[in-house]
Amino acid sequence: MSSKQLTFRLPIAPDELVEDYSARTYYFITTILGLLSVAFSGVLWSNLPKQIPLLLTYPWGEGRLAPRSYIFVIPALIFVVTILNIIVGKFLRSYPIILVRILAIASMLVAVMLDLALIGILQSIL
């Protein structure tokens, strides 16, 4: 048997995708928060009722309820916002680096707010 080492290669280097180290760090934290919300929802999936209070802008009652599968909309929003901000950041490379960092920080803040909303929703029904 040969002692070849298994490696994982990405087709694009992270520094090509997001050149600024600080922005990459914020996007990494955002991705971790998104993955934690998927894991948190998945672990508690069997304990969730068939409908959950997800639509909190509607008046109290059945109008607020959504099927429990909609709980995964929150992590999906985190990933959509992150991907869109990375794409916009790629177009802003010729502008001052602060704009790219602001997009990365905004992604992280959106992830934190959506994770807090997810925790509030899950904690109210469990």
List, for residues 100-121, the tens digit of each pLDDT value.
Answer: 889 999 999 999 999 999 998 8
Percentage of the chain beyond pLDDT 90 is 38
Judge whether 7 lies within some domain.
Answer: no
pLDDT for res 77: 95
Determine, yes or no, domain membership for 1.
Answer: no
Task: With respect to residue 116, please indicate whether it lies within any of the assigned structural domains.
Answer: yes
- 6 assigned to some structural domain: no
Per the CB < 8 A criterion, the answer to whether 124 and 47 are in contact is no
Whole-angstrom Cα distance, residue 98 to residue 50? 45
Q: Is the pLDDT assigned to residue 22 strictly greater than 90?
A: no
Q: What is the pTM of this model?
A: 0.79
Phi-psi region of 61 (alpha: psi -120 to 50; beta: other; left: phi over 0): left
Residue-range definition of the domain harbouring residue 77: 19-125
Quick check: is 12 in a domain?
no
Compute the distance between CA of residue 99 and CA of residue 18 in angstroms, rounded to an integer. 12
In a domain, 11, yes or no: no
Q: Is residue 76 part of a domain?
A: yes
Q: In the chain, how many domains are there? A: 1
